[in-house]
Amino acid sequence: MPAALVITTMTTRQLLGVRRMILFGLAELAPAGVVLLMTQTLAQEAALDRFLAMVIALYFPLLVPIVTLVVAASALGDERRDGTLSFLVLRPIPRSAIALSKVGGAVIVAAGLNTFGAIALAVVYGIDSGSWDLVVPLAVGGAFASIAYASLFVPLGFFTDRAVLVGLAFVFIFENAVVSALSGLSSLSPWRIGMSGFAGLAPSEVAMELSDFGAVNLSGFGTALLRTVVIAALSVAATTMVLRRRDLT
């Protein structure tokens, strides 16, 4: 079995703690539960408004980044703190394979959790409205945002023991304050990249409704995909360089 696949499998298992999965699983179901309670007596158009309000106020800007942050910061950070990373890099394994495996493992877990939340949210809306057009777009958008966040937070967890604190500052101060005030920086916001992917795949009326909620400067599906790929590639390259040059003891 290739070394990269072995490391990816080990990283995925490391990040899939039982208590963590239960806690995050319940958190991922929270938006769906709220929508279920709010849409019982609403017409389809009003239900769509409530669904999109949950997507733009809770799912993308809060749930996806926080879940991904906690997961991804542990991928390299825990091994560096435990001292096991130094043993891994002593093996005849390319540092690029280690970096790719760590980022990949974090992406698998975070994207899996956030896709679960997206599907639950869209299914609840589908049951209420009879429309199932938003299941795949929301799942894809959540996956894009998860990949972008994991790509940022895996190396962050390596550099600092306070990765969660720094990551929360990035999410709440930069993304949800600075970028909200300076919309020209939206291309640097992972959850806006994910929302662009969602809007690009969703029916046209959904994009129009999102603009009413203040979701502006959405880049479209193709651009969102390209930005996600570029962020992931840069993360793997940067992590590889760090593993080659930084003292891991």
Is the confidence at residue 43, as pLDDT, over 60? no
Furthest CA-CA distance within the chain: 62
* Angstrom distance (rounded) from CA 73 to CA 154: 5
The reported pLDDT for the residue numbered 214 is: 60
| Mean pLDDT value across residues 41-64 | 82
The reported pLDDT for the residue numbered 244 is: 80
Give the CA count within 13 Å in the CB-facing half-sphere of 76: 30
Q: CA geometry: angle at 39 spanning 124 and 59, to 5°?
A: 55
Give the CA count within 13 Å in the CB-facing half-sphere of 111: 21
Confidence of residue 122 (pLDDT cuts 50, 70, 90): very high
The model carries a pTM of 0.90
Among 42-56, 96-110, 233-247, the range of highest mean pLDDT: 96-110
Q: Supply the mean pLDDT for the chain.
A: 86
The reported pLDDT for the residue numbered 146 is: 97
Q: Report phi then psi at 214, rounded to 5.
A: 90, 10
| Mean pLDDT value across residues 202-222 | 76
The reported pLDDT for the residue numbered 39 is: 64
Collapsing DSSP states into helix, strand and coil, what is residue 247? coil
Q: CA geometry: angle at 168 spanning 55 and 59, to 5°?
A: 10
